[in-house]
Amino acid sequence: MSRQFSNLRPGMLLVALVIAVILWGIAHGSSSKERAYDVPIEIDGLSDELVVTDRDPDEINMRIMGSAAALRNIDANALRYRVDVTGSKPGDAEYEVDVSRVETDLPRGARVVSRSPSRILLRFEPRGRKAVAVRVDLEGEPPPGFVLGEVQVEPARVWITGARSQVLRLSEVVTETVELGGLKETTEREVSLFLGAGTVWMEKKEPVKIVIHIEPEPAPELETLEPALDEGAQEETEPS
């Protein structure tokens, strides 16, 4: 046995070792594996007259099978499941999940073997728009020695749009809370608005600015002594 190995040249042993490593890599890389991905849902073809007010679910869990090399080439952040809702009408609608819409974005050698759930439920509502007042939400009081003056907001009214039932219920929108406790001078700032439910938004994205006037507290008025002096003078002039 030792004589047989002694006849082998070192170069041949090196070549054999390289071939073995290559074959092991090919076998290892071609073995199939599975990996789960949460794929976000995107809506395509939605009419400008409609708003999606409910979606169940927001993501689809898909198990993808492929070689280790194929799975490594999947960009999980780029995966999307697109639902075509062209021609939809107000009300509830159900769409079956078609995995072929995702497989076209997968690298060669990868395929979807399961998905959960198998159906997507959407609710559509007509879109509405309305102009509403902007109310500044103030909290606390100015520091001692200062008082709150006029509060200005620009614009005073904004146009909102979204699900009609929610838009019609709103008579005003509120700014983020502004704390007065540390204000000792007139302050100007941009603020964000809270529009309630996620299916209502500003029709035109424009900055909302407020100006809060902080003024020194007026000095207390001094009591006049004139009436008392007049009474004393009258007593001195009265005859005994």
Out of 72-76, 89-93, 165-169, 234-238, pick the least confident: 234-238
Q: Identify which of 182, 202, 179, 203 has the alpha carbon closest to the alpha carbon of residue 192.
A: 202
In a domain, 223, yes or no: no
CATH of the domain at 151: 2.170.120.40
The total number of structural domains that make up the chain: 2
Out of 17-26, 127-136, 143-152, pick the least confident: 17-26
pLDDT bracket for residue 240 (50, 70, 90)? very low
Over residues 172-195, the mean pLDDT reads 92
Instruction: Give the residue with greater pLDDT, 178 vs 7.
Output: 178
Q: What is the pLDDT of residues 57-98, one digit of tens each?
A: 999 999 999 888 888 888 989 999 999 999 999 999 999 999
Over residues 170-195, the mean pLDDT reads 92
Give residue 219's pLDDT: 78
Does 151 share its domain with 134? yes
Return the beta strands (E) in 2-118 as ranges.
32-44, 50-56, 59-67, 81-84, 91-96, 110-116
In a domain, 15, yes or no: no
- Classify residue 109 by burial, with Cβ atoms within 10 Å: 0-12, 13-18, 19+: middle
Q: What is the pLDDT of residues 184-221, one digit of tens each?
A: 999 999 999 988 767 899 998 889 999 999 999 887 76
- Give, in degrees to the nearest 5, the angle at Cα 69 between 64 and 73: 70
pLDDT at 41 over 90: yes
175: number of Cβ within 10 Å? 19
Does 76 share its domain with 152? no
Does 92 share its domain with 136? no
In a domain, 1, yes or no: no
pLDDT at 234 over 90: no
Give residue 218's pLDDT: 85
In a domain, 231, yes or no: no
Q: How far apart are CA 118 and CA 103, in angstroms?
A: 16
Does 163 share its domain with 187? yes
At which of 125, 147, 175 does a domain end? 125
Does 131 share its domain with 205? yes
Domain range for 165 is 127-216
CATH of the domain at 81: 2.170.120.30
Does 88 share its domain with 137? no
In a domain, 200, yes or no: yes
